[in-house]
Amino acid sequence: MSASTPETQKQLGLPPKKALLKTLGDLGVIILVSLSVIWIRETLRLGRQGDERTAGLIFLLVMVLLLTPTLYYSYRRGLIPSKPSRGLDTFLGVLSICLAIGFVISASREEGQRRLFLDLVFAIVCFVKAGMNFYRAFKAKTAFSLPS
């Protein structure tokens, strides 16, 4: 940085090597979680494991290929602060409520105890997420300041 560059224009992002390592670490966690979910779903089905495994792995591969450049360039660019959006929080809250209702309906139709438990846990998580979004959307407005 030269002496004539103003303080507000400092580069917020990471150096390329650090951004690449952080991207690979995040993708490793995403792969681990995704493969764990696929493994748990396959284990619960007990038998019908043919096409679902292949489809899940193809989905995982496409997801990794799409996320790699996105994560890398977002780490390189750095954090771009933005004003909190009341409309987005409200939309995400409504979407979480719809998802939670879907899980409750799915749980009410299930006969197996394991699947029933998972659906109810996912429903509770979605209801909590919706509550957090609605709280953020409708709390009293406070002064928003960009980090320095």
Model confidence over 21-46: pLDDT tens digits? 888 888 888 877 777 776 766 666 65
pTM of the model: 0.50
- Nearest Cα to 144, choosing from 90, 80, 82? 82
Dihedral of alpha carbons 44, 49, 52, 57, sign: positive
pLDDT, mean over the chain:
77
Q: What is the pLDDT of residues 63-106, one digit of tens each?
A: 778 878 877 887 787 777 777 788 889 999 999 999 999 989 98
For residues 31 and 52, which has the higher predicted lDDT (pLDDT)? Answer: 31
pLDDT for the residue numbered 100 = 93
Q: What is the pLDDT of residue 134?
A: 92
Residue 114 has φ and ψ, to the nearest 5°, of -65, -50
Q: Are 42 and 52 in contact (CB under 8 A)?
A: yes
How far apart CA 88 and CA 113 sit, in angstroms, is: 36
